[in-house]
Amino acid sequence: MNEKSKILDKEGLGRSLTRIAHEVLEKNKGAEGLCLIGIRNRGAYLAARLGSCIGGIDKKGVPVGILDITLYRDDLTQIGSQPVVHKTEIDFDITDKIVVLVDDVLYSGRTIRAALDALIDFGRPKAIQLAVLVDRGHRELPIRADYVGKNIPTAKDEQVEVRLAETDGVDEVVVVEKSQ
């Protein structure tokens, strides 16, 4: 697996999150009625970090939840590797709230579609917005992000890897050649 280029380093990643936190508060005129829901795996860690950032700016703070979308995927029977189901942890009511979905990389859009299906089963949010750290293009569905950390045009044979201290021991975003 070939690492082609580093897009964000630790500081860059932190700055992106801070900027997104400000944008979220600006667009929604404050933290009132907001909640963050991170999509497992790395989206959940990013949501937690984003929640801290927001809490640092607006003392009100926002509730943060974790969503596992394995059961809503549209490719359950085709994928070669075994999908492992983890817990969804949303212990607040999302009805009438503005939900900001948080994920690491936006690509085909199918993960977000699955997340939308899952969210509807949990309640009726007032609105759903999407925050991603990286948008790498190649959408297969009409999905778009409201908040983007970095836009990275990529080729189909490349892969964008978001590495976080919580899971990978380091904070960075790199582009790699797809492994066989």
Partner 1 sequence: MKWNRKDLLGLEELSREELELILSTAGSFKEVSSREIKKVPALRGKTVVNLFYEPSTRTRVSFEVAAKRLSADVINIATETSSVKKGETLVDTGRNIEALKADIIVMRHNYSGAAAMLARHLDISVVNAGDGWHEHPTQALLDMFTLKEKLGRLEGINVSIVGDIAHSRVARSNIWGLTKLGARVTVCAPKILIPPEIDKMGVHVTSDINEALSRADAVNVLRMQFERDEQNAFPKQLEYFKNYGITAERLEKAKDDIVVMHPGPINRGIEMSSDVADGANSVILEQVTNGIAVRMAVLFLVAQAQGKTDEPSN
Q: What angle do CA 56, 57, 61 make, to 5 degrees?
A: 70
Tally Cβ neighbours within 10 Å of residue 9.
13
Tally Cβ neighbours within 10 Å of residue 180.
4
169: left (phi over 0), alpha (psi -120 to 50) or beta: left
Amino acid at 22: H
- Shortest Å, Cβ 74 to partner 1: 9
Tokens representing residue 75 in the block: 């490719």
Under the binding rule (CB under 8 A), the answer on residue 141 touching partner 1 is no
Under the binding rule (CB under 8 A), the answer on residue 2 touching partner 1 is no
Under the binding rule (CB under 8 A), the answer on residue 166 touching partner 1 is no
12, 55, 63, 123: which one binds partner 1 (CB under 8 A): 123
Residue 121 or 157: the one with the smaller Cβ distance to partner 1 is 121
Residue 14 or 63: the one with the smaller Cβ distance to partner 1 is 63
Under the binding rule (CB under 8 A), the answer on residue 81 touching partner 1 is yes
**d(C-alpha 20, C-alpha 87), whole Å:** 27
Under the binding rule (CB under 8 A), the answer on residue 41 touching partner 1 is no
**Number of residues assigned to the chain:** 180
17, 42, 68, 129: which one binds partner 1 (CB under 8 A): 68
DSSP code, position 76: T
Under a CB-based contact definition with an 8 Å cutoff, are residues 68 and 40 in contact?
yes
Under the binding rule (CB under 8 A), the answer on residue 117 touching partner 1 is yes
Under the binding rule (CB under 8 A), the answer on residue 121 touching partner 1 is yes
1, 11, 59, 85: which one binds partner 1 (CB under 8 A): 85
Residue 35 or 54: the one with the smaller Cβ distance to partner 1 is 35
Which residues form the interface with partner 1 (CB under 8 A)?
68, 70-72, 76-77, 81-89, 117-118, 121-123
